[in-house]
């Protein structure tokens, strides 16, 4: 087995793998290295085929905030055939995400190789990830363990009946609470709130959310932030991309505000921690699935008290 690992102050990483290591239907060599700016779109297209909570805008923004988090496997001809991201959370901890191998290159060891390169590059104490259904065995086979206690999450696709929902929310009065579009003056409070909710600071996520998606904040008595929500529409569905709140009732008000933002859409995708399943009862459940959490080392648990819907399994959880 022949590795060539070139590391230049962590700026560029090259790992060239002989085609001999590849299974017989691939005759090309590939290189694992940082993603380049001009490769954003091609890499996004590879990831987007999986139907995750990404938009090109979001992917681009996250890349610009944290370019060293994005790696690709590229053939000698420059075709992107694999990708992975490795986002920092707590000290020496990372979240592995967006790992995709082009379908014709799967089951030849490339996924494992991408994980190995990330480990060599970052020397993390802890890495965690949430596995989409079907990917569990991959993580176990590359050395991850089922995280205990779990902080995986449940995916729900629900259909909203707005009238029913409004009836349910009638008794949900919150004195002194206003829900309003995010204003630039809320930025520091929003970053602080997000940090408290997740347990670690993620400026990259907050700035992406504000720049890419409609974001609403819940404010108590005009001065104290009590929650936020961001959402976008993808594949005919409202995708809730982060909802943190001080209470169930505030979470419901934020959720209702999102529906006002997209008045013609009644289908919603939720990614809720297991302790927050009630949000899925605000509509009729059309389908659901479970994303388990896997890790190398013992991850620092997120406080979870304020998290009602995870922003994106790959970057903030």
- Nearer Cβ to ligand COA, position 91 or 133? 133
Min CB(52)–ligand COA separation in Å: 8
Binding segment (CB under 6 A) for ligand COA, from list 64-72, 108-116, 152-160, 266-274: 108-116
The one among 6, 12, 107, 285 contacting ligand COA by CB under 6 A: 107
* Residues 136 to 165 in contact with ligand COA, rule: CB under 6 A: 137-138, 141-142
Q: How far is the CB of 30 from ligand COA (least distance, A)?
A: 11
Which residue lies nearer to ligand COA by CB, 81 or 229?
81
Cβ 59 to ligand COA shortest distance, Å: 15
> What is the closest distance, in whole angstroms, from the C-beta atom of residue 288 to ligand COA in the complex?
17
Q: How far is the CB of 315 from ligand COA (least distance, A)?
A: 13
Residues 34 to 53 in contact with ligand COA, rule: CB under 6 A: 50
Which of the residues 177 through 236 are near ligand COA (CB under 6 A)? none
Binding mask 276-305 for ligand COA (x = CB under 6 A): ------------------------------
CB 113 within 8 A of CB 120: no
Least distance in Å: CB of 109 to ligand COA?
5
The residue within the footprint of ligand COA, chosen from 30, 54, 111, 292 (CB under 6 A), is 111
Complex with ligand COA: residue 106 or 265, whichever CB lies closer: 106
CA distance 297 to 313: 18
Using only the alpha carbons of the chain, give its radius of gyration: 20
> Which of the stretches 107-115, 152-160, 188-196, 298-306 binds ligand COA when contact is defined by CB under 6 A?
107-115
Q: Is 97 left (phi over 0), alpha (psi -120 to 50) or beta?
A: beta
Site for ligand COA in 117-136 (CB under 6 A): 131-132, 134-135
Q: Which residue is nearest to ligand COA (CB)?
A: 111
Give least dist CB 110 to ligand COA, A: 4
SS (H, E, C) the chain: CCCCEEEECCCEEEEEECHHHCCCCCCCCEEEEECCHHHHHHHHHHHHCCCCCCCHHHHHHHHHHCHHHEEEEEECCCCEEEEEEEEECCCCEEEEEEEEECHHHCCCCHHHHHHHHHHHHHCCCEEEEEECCCCHHHHHHCCCEECCCCCCEEEEEEECCHHHHHHHHCCCCCCCEEEEECCHHHHHHHHHHHHHHHCCCCHHHHHHHHHHCCEEEEEECCCEEEEEEEEEEECCEEEEEEEEECCHHHHHHHHHHHHHHCCCCCEEEEEEEHHHHHHHHHCEEEEEEEEEEEEECCCCCCCCCCEEECCCCCCCC
Q: Considering only residues 28, 106, 157, 220, which one is a binding residue for ligand COA as defined by CB under 6 A?
A: 106
Choice between 228 and 291, CB closer to ligand COA: 291
Q: Which residues within the stretch 66-105 sit at the binding site for ligand COA (CB under 6 A)?
A: 99-101
Burial 269-285 (b: 16+ CB within 10 A, else e): bbbbbeebeebbebbee
Residue numbers of the site for ligand COA (CB under 6 A)? Answer: 50, 99-101, 106-112, 131-132, 134-135, 137-138, 141-142
């Amino acid at each position: 087995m022949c590795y060539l690992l070139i590391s230049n102050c962590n700026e560029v990483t090259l790992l060239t793998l002989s085609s001999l290591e590849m299974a017989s239907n691939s005759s090309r060599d590939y290189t694992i290295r940082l993603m380049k700016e001009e490769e954003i779109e091609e890499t996004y297209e590879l990831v987007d085929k999986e139907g995750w909570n990404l938009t090109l805008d979001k992917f681009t923004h996250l890349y610009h905030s944290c370019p060293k988090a994005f790696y690709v496997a590229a053939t000698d001809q420059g075709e992107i055939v694999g990708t992975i991201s490795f986002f920092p959370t707590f000290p020496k901890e990372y979240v592995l995400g967006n790992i995709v191998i082009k379908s014709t290159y799967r089951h030849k060891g490339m996924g494992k190789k991408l994980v190995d390169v990330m480990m060599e590059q970052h020397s993390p104490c802890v890495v965690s990830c949430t596995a989409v259904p079907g990917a569990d065995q991959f993580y176990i086979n590359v050395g991850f363990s089922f995280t205990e206690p779990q902080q995986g999450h449940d995916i729900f696709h629900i259909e909203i009946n707005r009238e029913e929902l409004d009836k349910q929310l009638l008794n949900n009065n919150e004195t002194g609470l206003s829900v309003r579009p995010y204003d630039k003056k809320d930025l520091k409070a929003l970053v602080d709130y997000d940090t408290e909710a997740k347990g670690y600071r993620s400026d990259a996520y907050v700035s992406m959310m504000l720049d890419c998606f409609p974001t609403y904040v819940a404010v108590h008595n005009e001065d104290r932030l009590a929650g936020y929500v961001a959402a976008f529409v993808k594949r005919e569905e409202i995708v809730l991309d982060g909802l943190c709140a001080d209470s169930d009732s505030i979470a419901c008000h934020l959720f209702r505000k999102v529906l006002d933002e997209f008045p013609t859409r009644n289908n919603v995708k939720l990614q809720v921690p297991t302790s927050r399943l009630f949000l899925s009862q605000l509509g009729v459940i059309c389908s659901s699935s479970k994303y388990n959490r896997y890790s190398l080392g013992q991850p620092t648990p997120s406080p979870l008290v304020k998290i009602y819907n995870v922003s994106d399994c790959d970057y903030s959880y």
